[in-house]
Copies of this chain bind each other. A is one copy, B any other.
Amino acid sequence: MRHHRLSLCGEHLLPWVRAQVARAIRKYRMFGPDERVLVAVSGGKDSLTLWDILLDLGYQADGLYINLGIDGYSDASQAKAEAFAVGKPGARLRVVDVRGEYGASIPELARAHRGRKTCSLCGLVKRHIMNQAACEGGYAAIATGHNLDDEVAVLMQNTLRWSVGYLRRQAPVLPPEPGLARKVKPLCRVRERESAAFALVRGIDYIYDECPHAAGATTLFYKDILNQLENRSRGTKEMFYLNFLQAREQYDLFRAEREQVALHPCAHCGQPTTTPGLCAFCRLWVPPEQADDLASACGQADEDDE
């Protein structure tokens, strides 16, 4: 690990990565030792590494696997998540099957909503289900497996556009709002390589493939750019991320955008939404005319949130 001027064998890697995670949880006040955490588990290396570490650190961390119904990918990744849970003492996994629960898989939903990007639909569905599960289950926070490389790649994309709204919200912790659970990223200081090495040494069996729909090329492109920067000057990634967080805090950057948008409960599911009537998630599942009816029933005009 050049950026830390550190070489670790497998035996010492494990406690080192765990300590990094424990430090991030404390430093960013993600959750306390007595709070229950819901880990969003995809079956990949990052989320399983995260779950493994949280359980070993003694946290009450349950898993949530969302089956998106993607052929040749979802069932395989669910199997990995379930196998991990079976072999891990204290691991409880909840599975939500999108097609079973709502009537359509992500690919089917994408076909019904041509013109919308599959990854954007999928993100909307996952956020909704995660939040619902966290709120219903009384969890203090939703933990996702975003690692440092993920965070830095997104930061670079948002910075190149100076997308103030996104730059304001990109953080290791997103505080809760009424009806919206806290979101935390305990691996935000752990690099992709370290997370993969951890999984390898721990013998965690994870799904290697990327989702076939993933805009993997874009993320990989930015990760490659960042690796070039890192290779030229070690520590660049971490500096970019940490200096961003510090400068934003210290100078209160992007605060002008911070005005609270008014949130209403969705007329159907009750989750908070900015659009009158149905939330963006519920609107996915009803024909447009019915959504209009529902919105009018609430005495509010229908607005497209896209």
A residues with CB within 8 A of B: 159-162, 164, 221, 225, 228-229, 232, 236, 239-240, 243-244, 246-247, 250-257
Contact = CB atoms under 8 A, between A and B. Distances in A.
A249 to B, nearest CB: 11
A239 B164 contact: no
Contacts of A162: 240, 243-244, 246-247
A247 B164 CA distance: 7
Contact of A239 (B161, B239, B240, B246): B161
Contacts of A225: 225, 228-229
A220 to B, nearest CB: 11
Given A160-B229, A160-B236, A239-B161, A251 B257 contact: yes
Contacts of A251: 164, 253-257
A252 B252 CA distance: 10
Nearest to A236: B160
A160 B247 CA distance: 12
A229 B153 CA distance: 13
Given A159-B159, A159-B240, 16 more contacts: A160-B229, A160-B239, A161-B239, A161-B243, A162-B240, A162-B244, A162-B246, A164-B251, A225-B225, A225-B228, A225-B229, A250-B256, A251-B253, A251-B257, A252-B256, A253-B254
A160 B240 contact: yes
A24 to B, nearest CB: 19
A247 to B, nearest CB: 4
A254 to B, nearest CB: 6
Contacts of A160: 229, 236, 239-240
19 contacts: A159-B240, A160-B229, A160-B239, A160-B240, A161-B239, A162-B243, A162-B244, A162-B246, A164-B247, A164-B250, A225-B225, A225-B228, A225-B229, A250-B256, A251-B253, A251-B255, A251-B256, A253-B253, A253-B254
Contacts of A257: 251
A221 B239 CA distance: 18
- Top 8 A-B residue pairs of the complex, sorted by shortest distance between their CB atoms: A162-B243, A162-B247, A251-B256, A160-B240, A162-B244, A253-B253, A164-B247, A164-B251
A244 B244 CA distance: 15
A240 B243 CA distance: 19
A243 to B, nearest CB: 4
Contacts of A229: 160, 225
A79 to B, nearest CB: 35
A213 to B, nearest CB: 20
